Structures are given as structure tokens and as C-alpha cells.
Amino acid sequence: MATQENNYLLAVYNGLDDGLTKQVKALPEQFNKQRFLQNCMTVLQDGTADFSKCDPKTVVRTLMKGAFLGLDFFNGECYAIPYGTQCNFQTDYKGEIKLCKRYSRNPIKDIYAKVVREGDQFEEVIENGRQTVNFKPKSFNDGDIIGAFSIVLYMDGSMMYDTMSKAEIEHTRQTFSKAANSKAWKESYGEMCKKTVLRRLCKLIDLDFDTAEQCQAFEEGSEFDVKDKPKEKYQAQDVYQSNDQNTQKDAEGADGAIDADFREVNENE
């Protein structure tokens, strides 16, 4: 059994090492190949998920997507998720924030998402034609989640935001999620709510990826199916792309991101 496991890990390691070498031009600047390989092997062996039924080629393809984006599987910026004989790629909330800050055409000062719970004070105000968001969370609030919002603040002083009620989040989850009943939704519901509204806001952030491989990996890392892939500057050359991979479906229609001011009030005020 140990020999079989070692052979499996060796196959993944060699495939990943070969893929990183062949597609070095698609990797981010200052990409640390050896550290990435080491972290990936650690994730595959930590026992959190069982990859033994996955075709090694699908595992390599998934790990390559993280490499294209410069995300770290070991630090939880993205995940390799076994599903039958396949291995799926998914970005995490903090990984998406990292990518937005790195690739936004308009330099970002800060970007984040928060959940709104019963007892919190949240309001959207239009005054003199200008929209403002005020949020005052209740201290140590463990009340039910009633919605979520996401904010992006740019260096030039401008900003955008988006909001989703719990009903909207649940509709998106049940209609478009690739795994509506996954462990993430069951055990980290708040984080998934934040990722859902953040991903919708990201559709209005002008991201300028360096390669088509990065652009494709970002779209495929979404929790939700999308059909309209962004136009790519180059043709992706992912040698590990599965020939039978399904065309992705659209996650959401029109997005509701809004230009406005934001003020978060300290709960102790």
C-alpha cells in the first residue's frame, strides 16, 4: 500500500514538475517552483482529502491552475478538491482578494466582504444624488446571517460595492453552485457568503491578467458555473486541459455593483 501511494505521489510530482517547466512563460514573475512543488506535495499527503481515486493527470492539471495564478494551496488561497476520479480547482476568498489587488487595472487600496447578521445596522442611503453605505456591526454577534456585501476601495478615492440578501445568496448557491451541499457551504457558510458577493463584485473590477492561462484558471476557480469567459489576449496553452471538460455555465446575469461611499462605524462608538 505504501509503495502504491509513493508511486502515485511520484507520478503527480513528476507531472507537475514537467508541466511547470514546459509552461514557465505562463507563470507569474518571481514564481518559486521548488516551494510550490513542496507545498503541493504536503497538501496531497496531509490526509485532509483522499486523492487516491483521482487520475494523477487531473490532479496535476488542478495544481497547475494554482501555479498560473500564483496562489498557494498550502496556505489555503485555493483548493484541490477530489470528486470521484476527477480533481477540481477552487479559489478561496482570500485568494480572490489577492488576485484582485495584483491584477486590477485601477490600483486597489483595499477590498473585502462582510456578512450582515440580525442585530447589525446596515443601510444604503442616497443623499444629494450620492449613494452611501453605512455599516455598524453588533459586538460579538452570532445572530443569523441576513445578507452580505463587498467593497472595493481604489487608490484614486473611488469605490464600488455590491450587496446580496441571504435569499439571493441561496438562489445563487442552489442554482449555479458546482457543489451546493459541499463541506464548505455546510461548515463555513459565512465565508461562502462573502465569497459569493465578492465574486459578483469582481465581475465589474477590470482585471488585467498577464496570460490566458491565468484568465482561464481564475474563471474555472469560481464556486459557480460560468459560460461567458472573458476575452483573452492569448490562446491558453494548458497541456493538462482535459479534452472532456464540460463547458462552464453562467453564474449570474446582470451584476448590481454600485459606485458609492462607504463608512464602517466602530461598534463601540
User: Could you count the other beta carbons within 10 Å of the beta carbon of residue 147?
Assistant: 19
The answer to whether 71 and 77 are in contact (CB under 8 A) is yes
- Helix (H), strand (E) at residue 19: helix 2-22
- Residue 203's pLDDT is 87
Q: For residue 130, which phi and psi values (nearest 5 degrees)? A: -110, 130
- Residue 46's pLDDT is 87
- Residue 231's pLDDT is 41
- Helix (H), strand (E) at residue 96: helix 93-103
The answer to whether 231 and 208 are in contact (CB under 8 A) is no
- Residue 83's pLDDT is 85
Q: What is the mean pLDDT of residues 128-154?
A: 92
Q: How far apart are CA 143 and CA 267, in angstroms?
A: 15
- Residue 1's pLDDT is 53
Check: pTM over 0.85? Answer yes or no. no
Of 55-64, 101-110, 232-241, the one with minimum mean pLDDT is 232-241
With a cut of 80, say whether residue 224 has pLDDT above it. Answer: no
Which amino acid does the sequence have at 150? S
User: Could you count the other beta carbons within 10 Å of the beta carbon of residue 62?
Assistant: 28
Compute the CA torsion angle 173, 174, 176, 179 (nearest 10 deg): 80
Cα 9 to Cα 2, 22, 41, distances in angstroms: 11, 20, 8
- Residue 239's pLDDT is 44
With a cut of 80, say whether residue 175 has pLDDT above it. Answer: yes
HSE, side-chain direction, 13 A CA sphere, residue 161: 21
Q: Locate cell 451546493: which residue?
A: 180
